[in-house]
Amino acid sequence: MGLNVIMMGAPGAGKGTQAGRFARERGLPKISTGDMLREAIKEGNPVALEAKALMDRGELVDDGTIIAIVRDRLTKPDTRPGFVLDGFPRTVDQAVALDAFMQERARGPLVVIDVVVPEQELVRRLGSRRICGTCGANAEPGKTVCSTCNGELVVRSDDDGQVVVERLKVYERATRPVLEYYRARPTFRVVDGAQAPERVANDVDSMIDDAAASGGRGKLGGERRSSGRAADQAGA
């Protein structure tokens, strides 16, 4: 059975970083819908260019387009041992479509990790986030050029002031219900993303392994949280 992981979290929670690290360490493909869209925009793909206006405003691209992109990606053979999804699903309709796909293909349970960070911290992080203008990787803290390709670091076009506010609103409205959709599953876990990065990484790893081990057992399970502060506060 594959290790199928969904990394959830608000913009700025660090889900992309954790998804990338975990995927690398376990030899699984990281599937980031945001990265795929940005890549397709660079290549001049007409559907992606249409989506760009929505992305620049902090709004969501329509479910039909995103679901088709993800279904197509998940049929590639490299996803058979599992995958790490980052930025998908962002709506309940996307989550329902993913469940249908997983069932159709008998791909096994989904492990869902919610990386929780208080809102003031999200805004602070998004204000200082930089990405590589060449390869699009998230910049590592303290670095002045990209650690992957030495490219120049730039502000992401949707990390600017008002757009950040809009993205956080969209997250509350469209994506928070996805957490409720998954919360009762035995494979749902909450991680405190406000801790030091190495502690977040440790918690993510142990929560994923623990959830995967309990994946086949029972229909309902209590939500489990890492012990840290933000997760305790995040009744939300």
> With contact defined as beta carbons under 8 Å apart, do 226 and 192 qualify?
yes
> With contact defined as beta carbons under 8 Å apart, do 191 and 204 qualify?
yes
> With contact defined as beta carbons under 8 Å apart, do 193 and 116 qualify?
yes
**What is residue 141's three-state secondary structure?**
coil
Beta carbon nearer to ligand AMP, 176 or 199:
176
Q: Active site includes 107?
A: no
Regarding 17 and contact with ligand AMP (CB under 6 A), the answer is no
Q: Which of 125, 130, 167, 185 is an active site residue?
A: 167
Q: Which of 30, 38, 129, 225 is an active site residue?
A: 129
Among 5, 19, 48, 60, binds ligand AMP (CB under 6 A): 60
- Residue in 71, 66, 167, 172 with CA at minimum distance from that of residue 123: 167
Which H or E run includes 87? none
Q: Active site includes 156?
A: yes
CB of 163 to ligand AMP, least distance (A): 9
Beta carbon nearer to ligand AMP, 54 or 234:
54
> With contact defined as beta carbons under 8 Å apart, do 167 and 160 qualify?
no
| # chain residues binding ligand AMP, by CB under 6 A | 17
Beta carbon nearer to ligand AMP, 124 or 229:
124
**Which tokens in the block code for residue 169?**
């609103």
- Residue in 60, 53, 57 with CA at minimum distance from that of residue 161: 57
Enumerate residues 18-37 that contact ligand AMP by CB under 6 A.
Answer: 33-34, 37
Enumerate residues 83-142 that contact ligand AMP by CB under 6 A.
Answer: 87-88, 90, 94
Enumerate residues 158-177 that contact ligand AMP by CB under 6 A.
Answer: 158, 167
Q: Is the dihedral of CA 32, 34, 40, 43 positive or negative?
A: negative
Q: Which residues bind ligand AMP (CB under 6 A)?
A: 11, 33-34, 37, 54-55, 58-61, 66, 87-88, 90, 94, 158, 167
